[in-house]
Amino acid sequence: MTIDIKAFFQATNPGIPLFIDNVEIDTRYYIDFSTVRGGKVIKKLKNTITLWSSDRPTCQLFTGHIGCGKSTELWQLKQQLETEGFHVVYFESDKSLEMGDVDIGDIFLTIAQQVSRSLEKLEKLNLEEPKGLKGLLQGAAKLLQTEIELSAEANIPGMGKVAASSEGSFSAEVGLPGVGQVKADEKGLEFVALGIGKITAQAKASPELRTKLREYLGPRTSGIIETINKELLEPANEKLKKYGKKGLVVIVDNLEKVDSSPKPWGRPQPEYLFVDRGEQLMSLHCHLIYTLPMALRFSNDYDTLTQRFKKDPQILPMVATQLRDGSECAEGMKLMRQLVLARAFPELDPQQRLAKVTEIFDSQETLDYLCRFSGGHVRNVLRIVNEAIMEEGDLPISRASVANVIKTYRNQRLLAVDDHEWELLRRVVQTKKVTGDDGYQILIRSMFVYEYQDELGPWFDINPLLKDAPELNIRE
């Protein structure tokens, strides 16, 4: 069988999470790393909802290094919860929010938009008109009327052509099988989804509009929460259960990408959102999962955060390619090889894929070299493969091409490390630990240090790309 190099290149695109476009093929790409990640983290998130608290709202935090595979695991969770009978709304928050400048009201509006949009796709689920939400949007539009013309028109899959205006009017032409075109007017949820989408899109693009919008929304935060609960989430849960569903789950992904820059009064944005406003994030009446910035685990405010949310975040660590003592983790290496080979041979079983490794690389040693230098970072493995394909221009990929990509990536990373950080990195190499020092937060956020889990708990090591740096002065 000849490998289609373009198809393999596209399959290793590091910017596309699994289970978004083609669930059938992505299921074949998926590798279960739980045996080398300290356990089934997603199972714990799921059980909190399905076993321990199915009859009351829950709020959970999920964290891990950017690019370690959180989105893929959350899509797995979504599918499992849907199989259990829950209606799940998953969305990537960075598509609606300006991550350098996020406030609590922005998050609530986006949740309301995504839930409204999702519920409108369900047959029979007719909620009463959300007058409070419509009034809120009309007030925001009136405040910003010189900047925003709150009218929208869109084609929504399964609904047809939709239009809404700031005066609250709505119309839709819906194609129903066996019925034809049915016109609907003044339906609130469509207006809510379209209106919020218009406002948040404009606010994301303009700091001035964000400031004006927050001046309007800020004093109304408690009322916004109550309105979303009373007009949207509580009725939705009631109707969903009436039609055989077990409840509503909202998964807010990519919120860990909020910038660490301080608010105008000096508070870092992650601490402000998750610590200072944590109780409000928990206050929506549905099951909630938020992704959390990894560096917050090493903040002096971490204990306060866990008190706010009543539990510790669930952590998705890196895939272990080596053990605490520096020896190779055979199971982790085996699974990392499969991560790459599955993108070329999704229809084959693991042993058959391994037998074809030389169709992709000049030797298995080249693949192993790649996996070791990745440090078990899923996205970086795919990124290196993807760039090595371009470097080589053909298959199989040579050791030299992989080495060139790694060298370029390493040189870029070295430029960002200062003298104080080198000292902290030397301590990590020696102790396999990090502390609450602000410098360690930077190392985690910059992905100079990776977290792993084993039967003894968490341990840390530096990004393998940095290990050969003379600044470390490590004696083997």
Same domain, 268 and 358: no
DSSP letters spanning 62-73: EEE-TTSSHHHH
Asked whether residue 294 falls in the same domain as residue 337, the answer is no
What is the identity of the amino acid at 201?
Answer: A
SS3 58: coil
- 218 and 344 in a single domain? The answer is no
pLDDT of residue 211: 83
The residues, ordered by sequence, that sit 6+ positions from 100 with a Cβ below 8 Å of its Cβ are 259, 261
Please report which helix (H) or strand (E) contains residue 41, including its range. helix 41-47
Amino acid at 189: L
Of the three residues 285, 316, 347, the one that is the final residue of a domain is 316
115 & 57 share domain: yes
Residues 395 and 459 in one domain: no
Same domain, 91 and 119: yes
Give the per-residue pLDDT at 155: 41
Tokens representing residue 350 in the block: 């693991």
For residue 116, give the H/E element and its range: helix 104-119
- Tokens 């596309």: give the residue: 16
On whether residue 446 sits in a domain, the answer given is yes
399: left (phi over 0), alpha (psi -120 to 50) or beta: alpha
- Domain assignment present for residue 33? The answer is no
Same domain, 346 and 424: no
The count of domains in the chain is 3
Same domain, 110 and 210: yes
Claim to verify: residue 373 and residue 362 sit in the same structural domain: yes
pLDDT at 154: 40
Both 120 and 216 in a single domain? yes
Q: Give the total residue count for the chain.
A: 476
How far apart (Å, rounded) are the C-alpha atoms in residues 329 and 342? 20
H, E, C per residue of 329-380:
CHHHHHHHHHHHHHHHCCCCCHHHHHHCHHHCECCHHHHHHHHHHHCCCHHH
Task: Give buried/exposed letters for 409-423 (b at 16+ CB in 10 A, else e).
Answer: bbeebeeebeeebbe
- Residue-range definition of the domain harbouring residue 439: 419-472
Domain final residue, candidates 301, 316, 331 = 316
CA distance 214 to 97: 13
Work out the burial of residue 476: count CB atoms within 10 Å of its CB; fewer than 13 is exposed, 13-18 middle, 19 or more buried: exposed
* pLDDT by position in tens, the chain (length 476): 578 999 999 999 998 877 766 777 788 999 999 999 988 999 999 999 999 887 899 999 999 999 999 999 999 999 999 999 999 999 999 998 989 989 999 899 899 989 988 988 886 677 777 778 778 877 777 766 634 444 444 443 333 444 444 444 434 343 323 222 323 334 556 667 677 777 777 777 778 878 888 888 888 889 989 999 998 999 999 999 988 999 999 999 999 999 988 998 999 999 999 999 999 999 999 999 999 999 899 888 999 999 999 999 999 999 999 999 999 999 999 999 999 999 999 999 999 999 999 999 999 999 999 999 999 999 999 999 999 999 999 999 999 999 999 999 999 999 999 999 999 999 999 999 988 767 788 899 899 999 999 999 999 999 999 988 888 875 44
Residue 190, pLDDT score: 67
In a domain, 307, yes or no: yes
Domain boundary among 316, 335, 370: 316
Residues 6+ away with beta carbon under 8 Å from 340: 12, 360, 367, 370, 371, 381, 382, 385
User: Which pair of structure tokens corresponds to residue 171?
Assistant: 């119309």
* Residue 458 DSSP label: E
Q: What share of the chain is helix, strand, coil (3-state, %, to 5)?
A: 55, 15, 35
